[in-house]
């Protein structure tokens, strides 16, 4: 038993430290997954237990101006990440782009962008908190929760281990706000994004000699297939609801 625990202990540090990109050690929330797990755990506890219990006998909060600021910030922040991805388009190969782990300009820029993209996924958790405080609990669906939860974990892993290279194609993800009339357009854009990412990572299975880590598509491909199914179902339900079916 003691030997097994020792092996697990050593294995944990081998995965978290030895396999990770050492350049991320000094980045915020990057040196260990524990703070991120705590953040996500507290978020889940709040949206399903603490928050609803606190709001039970209270009127919904008016967060209009806070949400305007939040959405404007998200649009500009995500737009900036997308802009950086656009400026780096000549540095990537659509067939295979290995991760540049050096201290070169592009290697550092890709890593910096990956980390900031992860931080924006942390900020996205506020979406659900706003739902709770506005007593819009019906919006907290499995799709909503899984998507936010999954993106935080996946983007942390991406920044920690593969901050650049073929991961570049995940950066094309825009934030349009939560305007009701844009619901269909946003869902369509997300479906296109998931299909695009699925295509780019499936190709890696058939690209010989590619130095991008082969293990990554084994996580990205099923994740995006699952998201296509979930968002596809959500999109179909939007159409039926809008048509009164």
Does residue 22 form part of some domain? no
- Determine the structural domain holding residue 234 and report its residue range: 34-242
So what's the pLDDT on residue 177?
A: 41
Confidence bin at 239 (pLDDT 50/70/90): low
Does residue 227 form part of some domain? yes
Does residue 46 form part of some domain? yes
Ranking 3-17, 105-119, 140-154, 199-213 by mean pLDDT, the lowest is 3-17
Average pLDDT of the segment spanning 143-147: 86
From the list 188, 218, 184, the residue with the least C-alpha distance to 201 is 218
**Does residue 174 register a pLDDT over 60?**
no
CA distance 118 to 152: 6
Average pLDDT of the segment spanning 41-56: 94
DSSP 79-135: HHHHHHHHHTGGG--SS------SSSHHHHHHHHHHHHHHHHHHHHTHHHHHHHHTT
More confident residue, 108 or 194: 108
So what's the pLDDT on residue 135?
A: 92
Cβ contacts of 68-71, under 8 Å, gap ≥ 24: 70/126, 70/130, 71/175, 71/177, 71/178
**Does residue 4 register a pLDDT over 60?**
yes
CA distance 152 to 122: 6
Give the chain's end-to-end CA distance (angstroms, integer). Answer: 59
Average pLDDT of the segment spanning 50-75: 91
Does residue 177 form part of some domain? yes
- Which distant-in-sequence residues (6+ apart) come within 8 Å of 134 by Cβ? 60, 61, 63
Does residue 66 form part of some domain? yes
Does residue 237 form part of some domain? yes
What are 180-193's pLDDT values in tens digits?
A: 445 567 677 778 88
Does residue 60 form part of some domain? yes
So what's the pLDDT on residue 96?
A: 81
Length of the chain measured in residues: 245
More confident residue, 179 or 133: 133
Structurally, how many domains does the chain consist of? 1
Mean pLDDT for all residues in the chain? 83
Does residue 160 form part of some domain? yes
């Amino acid at each position: 038993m003691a030997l097994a625990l020792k092996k697990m202990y050593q294995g944990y540090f081998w995965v978290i430290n030895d396999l990770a990109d050492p350049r991320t050690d000094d980045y915020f929330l990057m040196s260990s997954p524990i703070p991120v797990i705590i953040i996500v755990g507290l978020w889940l506890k709040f949206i399903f237990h603490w928050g609803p219990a606190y709001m039970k006998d209270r009127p919904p909060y008016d967060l209009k101006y806070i949400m305007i600021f939040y959405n404007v910030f998200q649009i500009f922040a995500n737009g900036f990440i997308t802009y950086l991805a656009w400026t780096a388009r000549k540095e990537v190969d659509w067939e295979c782009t290995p991760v540049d782990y050096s201290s070169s300009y592009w290697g550092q820029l890709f890593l910096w962008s990956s980390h900031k993209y992860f931080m924006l996924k942390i900020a996205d958790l506020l979406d659900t908190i706003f739902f709770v405080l506005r007593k819009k609990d019906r919006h907290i669906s499995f799709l909503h929760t899984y998507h936010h939860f999954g993106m935080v974990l996946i983007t942390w892993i991406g920044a920690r281990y593969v901050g650049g290279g073929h991961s570049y194609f995940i950066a094309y993800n825009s934030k349009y706000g939560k305007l009701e009339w844009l619901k269909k357009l946003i869902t369509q854009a997300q479906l296109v994004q998931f299909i695009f990412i699925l295509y780019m990572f499936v190709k890696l299975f058939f690209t010989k000699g590619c130095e991008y880590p082969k293990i990554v598509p084994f996580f990205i491909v099923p994740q995006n297939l699952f998201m296509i199914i979930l968002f596809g179902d959500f999109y179909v339900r939007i159409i039926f609801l809008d048509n009164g079916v």
